[in-house]
Amino acid sequence: MKKCNTDNIKGGDFYSRFSVGKVLSSVGGGFKIANEDGEDWTIDKDIVAGEFYIAGQYDTEVAVTRTEMAKILKASPRLVFVVNYHKQTKVATVVDAIAEQYPNQGGSIQSKAAFKKNVKDAQDTFMKGEERTLIGYTEGYEDDFGRIRVIDLEQPKEITDNGYDKRYRLVDPRTLNSLIIYNIKYIIK
């Protein structure tokens, strides 16, 4: 999709450009890159160094509260990041984890107290949900429950007929573990 008429561009015109994409390879003094739509080109290394943030790269680590980390993520639309968080726990996962503590395993019956202790010890595992690391960006939208909607860049771009991007994921800021953005890795205090 054209965003401007290149025939009408003249010296002194200002531009803005946003593109999220992937580095395909190193080429001479630069890189071959592609945007989300699959359009690719070669760009000079100095332009990349001066204008690009690379997901996962950082040279500073900062300890912040989970609330501060969520604010940083929410305030950074259209900027690539790597986020580590816990996905929502599924009921079936909880049921399976409790069933694993069944008191009559191996032919010997546990006491009620031992069973309760085993379930309590296992709850940290099944209550947190599966840990997930995602490379993506946010468009600055959060749902009514405060979950941040992000685009998962590791998934193929597929837009439905009604305009829904199948790469959308919801990240609950209460489950954030770490965030790499702006060349900084944020970890929980």
Query: Contact, 183 vs 60, CB < 8 A?
Result: yes
Q: What is the mean pLDDT of the chain?
A: 89
Tokens standing for 37? Answer: 């739509």
* Band of pLDDT at residue 79, cut at 50, 70 and 90: very high
Q: What is the mean pLDDT of residues 14-32?
A: 90
For the ranges 61-75, 92-106, 129-143, the maximum mean pLDDT occurs at 61-75
Q: Residue count of the chain, please give it.
A: 189
Q: Is pLDDT of 47 > 70?
A: yes
Q: What is the rounded CA–CA span in Å between residue 172 and residue 67?
A: 11
Phi, psi of 39, rounded to the nearest 5 degrees: -75, 130
Q: What is the mean pLDDT of residues 52-69?
A: 95
Tokens standing for 149? Answer: 């909607």
* Band of pLDDT at residue 1, cut at 50, 70 and 90: low
Q: Which tens digit of pLDDT belongs to each residue from 108-133?
A: 777 888 878 877 877 776 777 889 99
Q: What is the rounded CA–CA span in Å between residue 6 and residue 132?
A: 42
Q: What is the rounded CA–CA span in Å between residue 156 and residue 152?
A: 9
Q: What is the mean pLDDT of residues 59-65?
A: 97
105 three-class SS: helix
Strand order in the sheet with 176-181: 60-64, 184-188, 176-181, 81-86, 131-142, 148-152, 168-171
Q: Which tens digit of pLDDT belongs to each residue from 81-95?
A: 999 999 988 777 777
